[in-house]
Amino acid sequence: MKPDSIQKYRAFPAVDLKDRTWPDRVIDHSPIWCSVDLRDGNQALPQPMSIEEKLEFFELLCRVGFKQIEIGFPSAADTEFNFCRRLIEENRIPEDVTIQILVQTREHLIRRSFEAINGAKRAIVHIYNSTSPLQRRVTFGDASREEIRDLAIEGTKLVKELVPTVPDTEIVLQYSPESFSDTELDFALECCNEVIEIWQPTPEKKMVINLPDTVQWTTPNIHADMIEWMGRHLNRRDSIDISLHTHNDRGTGTAATELGLMAGADRVEGTLFGNGERTGNLDIINVALNMNSHGIETGLDFSNINELRAVYERVTRMTVGERHPYAGELVFTAFSGSHQDAIKKGLDRRNRELKEQDDLAWGVPYLTIDPQDIGRSYEAIIRINSQSGKGGVAWVLEREHGLELPKTMHPQVGKRIYDMADEQGRELNIDEIREAFYQYFVNVDQPLAVSDYELVHHTVEKGLVDCTASITVNGEEKKIEGQGNGPINAFTHALENAGLKNFQLTDYRSHAVRGGSDANAAAYVQLRHDDGRILWGCGIDASIEMAGLKALVCAANLFSETSS
Ligand SMILES: CC(=O)SCCNC(=O)CCNC(=O)[C@H](O)C(C)(C)COP(=O)(O)OP(=O)(O)OC[C@H]1O[C@@H](n2cnc3c(N)ncnc32)[C@H](O)[C@@H]1OP(=O)(O)O
Ligand SMILES: CC(C)C(=O)C(=O)O
Ligand SMILES: [Mg+2]
């Protein structure tokens, strides 16, 4: 902000609540959830959803498990009205789902809304009027507190009067002092208590008092103070569901909701992926999955977040950002070396420990939840660029290409591959990583190559092997022979007999290559050169013995590539 603009702004007053209790509370159960995607989300779209799109979204919300869904503002436009009628007339509302409609406390709009909901089994009629000093002054043209309070009173009386006009529909009242977030608390309370006393809710027939963070003017702790204060002062508290409706102007919609729940709220309104006015409504997925990550059931099923995201992006024409909590493309991906190292170790260790303990608590560095629990896969967890480390490269080779490199080979391979990413200034995809590994570390056959071999296993002296091999050294073909206590050892002696050995074999591993169509074996040989250098080579071949010889030849050749 420009320095001289600062004078335009004022500090937001704190709430006088010295004995606040919410900071010591923990969230240990789920609230009532209400989706407002089809209303607050929809009203904020450059191109609002068509009826067909709203129908598809409504069904999606039911599948997720929402039991309360604000379906629109039926008195606003024909599309909204007709959508409501279709839901009712085509019996599309599941038995256990209650629709909610929004309307201003204006007579003609309330009457029209009752025409819209007639015949629904149950409906929440959500009335609102703005209450803050700013809105009283600006929107309502210097209206007094009494005039604004009277809007709430008259609106509630009208709703009560219209209830008998929809005899087949159970009506639940919801009242929002809109712009609660910058309304004086005593005035918000006065409006709410007037509504409550007219409606006369009971513990059996509750009503909803929704306290919206319409515009987030201040920090989440003040929001929590306001919620706790209202909860202490509202009449008939046991007959009221206090509802939160946060927006995200300061980027703290989730925090404000979580603190609001600690402050005693019973219910949460929000949208999938936080669609909504300006910076959006609360992202309900975020809060619900945060609860799941602390072991709290929510009744909402986000186990296929990719499907939700696909439908959401299609019907709203919005996009979910790559860093969006839980749903973003990159949120379960690590590029950086130290993260990759820790994640790989965490997942490997967990897989080992699960064999002994099947109720093992989740605990993998950098992953707050198991991505598989919301339908995200492990495949993309680790991606390789110049910030990556050896563990990440080894992970990709293992997970994607079935190659289990020995741990001491990781630095040699990792460096080569992330240096490549650095040179090219971009991420390397999994095929490029495989190609680079094959190019630099597999079956390298210059200057030495082995083209054929024959092994004779001694029957009397068990384990002893004679090896005859055809090799090429700098283009010149040779036959070599040697004996040893295994194929690799015999081949090493054959090289030694031909004066071609300048190393010691220090390690050897092999395994069948997982996945892919080739039934290949991979062997890894580590050699220590006479000058002290230590290098690994890899051999891949249909025959495990040939894979071993090729790995040895490969490692020997790599010495010629690097200077001593
Ligand atoms: C924070 C929120 O998300 S609130 C929800 C907002 N959602 C929407 O607005 C979407 C649907 N709304 C609409 O389509 C239209 O606004 C309608 C159809 C509801 C009303 O349309 P119109 O009456 O033509 O226009 P508009 O909304 O601008 O009306 C504003 C008037 O209503 C008054 N008003 C606004 N809210 C209320 C209220 N709760 N009670 C009484 N009067 C109200 C305003 O003061 C203003 O009065 P004025 O004309 O005397 O200045
Ligand atoms: C209508 C109300 C609840 C609203 O959407 C808001 O205040 O943000
Ligand atoms: Mg809103």
What is 495-517 written as a DSSP string? HHHTT---EEEEEEEEEEPPSSS
Q: What is the pLDDT of residue 20?
A: 98
Q: How confident is the model at residue 493 (pLDDT cuts 50, 70, 90)?
A: very high
Amino acid in position 334: A
State the CB neighbour count (10 A cutoff) for residue 21.
13
Q: How confident is the model at residue 387 (pLDDT cuts 50, 70, 90)?
A: confident
Flag whether pLDDT at 518 surpasses 80: no
Which residues are registered as beta bridge partners of 512? 521
Handedness of CA 552, 554, 560, 564 (dihedral sign): negative
Q: What is the mean pLDDT of residues 521-542?
A: 97
- Residue 57 CA to residue 54 CA, distance in Å, equals 5
- Residue 347 CA to residue 371 CA, distance in Å, equals 12
Amino acid in position 357: Q
Q: Ligand 1 pocket check: which of 40, 104, 210 to mutate, most ligand atoms within 8 Å of Cβ? A: 104
Chain centroid to CA 141: 45
- Residue 178 CA to residue 102 CA, distance in Å, equals 12
With a 6 Å cutoff on the Cβ, whether 210 touches ligand 2 is yes
| Pairing relationship of beta strands 476-484 and 465-473 according to DSSP bridges | antiparallel
* CA neighbor of 400 nearest in space, from 435, 376, 359: 435
Residues with CB under 5 A from ligand 3 (ion): 40
| Higher local confidence (pLDDT), 515 or 240 | 240
- Number of C-alpha atoms within 13 angstroms, CB side, residue 98? 16
Helix (H, G, I), strand (E, B) or coil at 113: helix
* CA neighbor of 161 nearest in space, from 187, 130, 198: 198
Q: Which CATH architecture has domain 448-561?
A: 2-Layer Sandwich (3.30)
The torsion angle over the Cα atoms of residues 507, 513, 514 and 520, rounded to 10 degrees, is -160
Q: How confident is the model at residue 140 (pLDDT cuts 50, 70, 90)?
A: very high
Flag whether pLDDT at 273 surpasses 60: yes
- Residue 557 CA to residue 107 CA, distance in Å, equals 88
Residues with a CB atom less than 6 Å from ligand 1 = 40, 43, 73, 76-77, 104-106, 109, 128-129, 139-140, 151, 178, 214, 277
- Contacts of 13 by beta carbon, 8 Å cutoff, 6+ apart: none
Q: What is the mean pLDDT of residues 369-376?
A: 95
Amino acid in position 224: A
40 alpha carbon to ligand 2 midpoint, in Å? Answer: 7
Q: What is the mean pLDDT of residues 333-345?
A: 87
Q: How confident is the model at residue 358 (pLDDT cuts 50, 70, 90)?
A: confident
Nearest ligand for residue 43 CA: 1
Q: How confident is the model at residue 322 (pLDDT cuts 50, 70, 90)?
A: very high
Q: Ligand 2 pocket check: which of 102, 180, 209, 214 to mutate, most ligand atoms within 8 Å of Cβ? A: 214
Share of the chain above pLDDT 90, in %: 88
Hey, whose CA ends up nearest to atom 17 of ligand 1? 76
Residue 147 DSSP one-character state: H
249 alpha carbon to ligand 1 midpoint, in Å? Answer: 22
- Residue 232 CA to residue 154 CA, distance in Å, equals 25
Q: What is the mean pLDDT of residues 449-463?
A: 85
Flag whether pLDDT at 320 surpasses 90: yes
Share of the chain above pLDDT 70, in %: 98
Handedness of CA 228, 233, 234, 238 (dihedral sign): positive
| Pairing relationship of beta strands 240-246 and 207-213 according to DSSP bridges | parallel
Q: What is the pLDDT of residue 461?
A: 76
* CA neighbor of 559 nearest in space, from 539, 534, 522: 534
Q: How confident is the model at residue 384 (pLDDT cuts 50, 70, 90)?
A: confident
Beta carbons of 271 and 35 less than 8 angstroms apart: yes
Flag whether pLDDT at 381 surpasses 80: no
The ranges of the chain annotated as CATH 3.30.160.270 are: 448-561
Which residues are registered as beta bridge partners of 450? 471
Q: How confident is the model at residue 335 (pLDDT cuts 50, 70, 90)?
A: confident
| pLDDT tens column, 71-106 | 999 999 999 999 999 999 999 999 999 999 999 999
Q: What is the mean pLDDT of residues 414-439?
A: 92
Q: Kind and range of the H or E element at 255?
A: helix 253-262
Q: What is the pLDDT of residue 4?
A: 92
341 known member of a binding site: no
First to last CA, the chain: 58
Flag whether pLDDT at 409 surpasses 60: yes
Beta carbons of 384 and 396 less than 8 angstroms apart: yes
Q: How confident is the model at residue 520 (pLDDT cuts 50, 70, 90)?
A: very high
**Edge to edge, what strands does the sheet with 465-473 contain?**
448-457, 465-473, 476-484
Q: What is the pLDDT of residue 15?
A: 98
Hey, whose CA ends up nearest to atom 3 of ligand 1? 40
Question: Would you call 63 exposed, middle or buried from its count of C-beta atoms within 10 A (0-12, 13-18, 19+)?
Answer: middle
211 alpha carbon to ligand 2 midpoint, in Å? Answer: 9
280 alpha carbon to ligand 3 midpoint, in Å? Answer: 8
Q: What is the mean pLDDT of residues 233-262?
A: 98
- Contacts of 57 by beta carbon, 8 Å cutoff, 6+ apart: 37, 38, 49, 311, 312, 315
Q: What is the pLDDT of residue 516?
A: 57
232 alpha carbon to ligand 3 midpoint, in Å? Answer: 24
Q: What is the pLDDT of residue 386?
A: 80
Q: Which fold has domain 29-316?
A: TIM Barrel (3.20.20)
* CA neighbor of 551 nearest in space, from 516, 520, 514, 517: 520
Q: What is the pLDDT of residue 334?
A: 87
What the block records as the tokens of 164 is 């008998």
Whole-model pTM: value is: 0.86
Share the mean pLDDT of the chain.
95
With a 6 Å cutoff on the Cβ, whether 212 touches ligand 2 is yes
The ranges of the chain annotated as CATH 1.10.287.1400 are: 337-440
- Residue 103 CA to residue 43 CA, distance in Å, equals 13
Q: What is the mean pLDDT of residues 122-148?
A: 98
HEC assignment per residue over 203-233: CCCCEEEEEEECCCCCCHHHHHHHHHHHHHH
Q: What is the mean pLDDT of residues 394-419?
A: 93
Residue 429 DSSP one-character state: P
What the block records as the tokens of 556 is 């020997």
Flag whether pLDDT at 270 surpasses 80: yes
- Residue 122 CA to residue 99 CA, distance in Å, equals 7
| pLDDT tens column, 495-516 | 999 999 999 999 999 999 987 5
Hey, whose CA ends up nearest to atom 7 of ligand 2? 214
Please report the atom of ligand 2 found closest to the CA of residue 215: 8
40 known member of a binding site: yes
Name the class of domain 337-440: mainly alpha
- Contacts of 6 by beta carbon, 8 Å cutoff, 6+ apart: none
Flag whether pLDDT at 564 surpasses 80: no
| pLDDT tens column, 185-234 | 999 999 999 999 999 999 999 999 999 999 999 999 999 999 999 999 99
| pLDDT tens column, 442-451 | 999 999 999 9
| pLDDT tens column, 153-196 | 999 999 999 999 999 999 999 999 999 999 999 999 999 999 99
The ranges of the chain annotated as CATH 3.20.20.70 are: 29-316
443 known member of a binding site: no
- Residue 401 CA to residue 378 CA, distance in Å, equals 14
Beta carbons of 265 and 242 less than 8 angstroms apart: yes
- Number of C-alpha atoms within 13 angstroms, CB side, residue 548? 18
Q: Kind and range of the H or E element at 72?
A: strand 68-72
Q: What is the mean pLDDT of residues 371-382?
A: 81
List phi, psi (to 5°) of 454: -135, 135
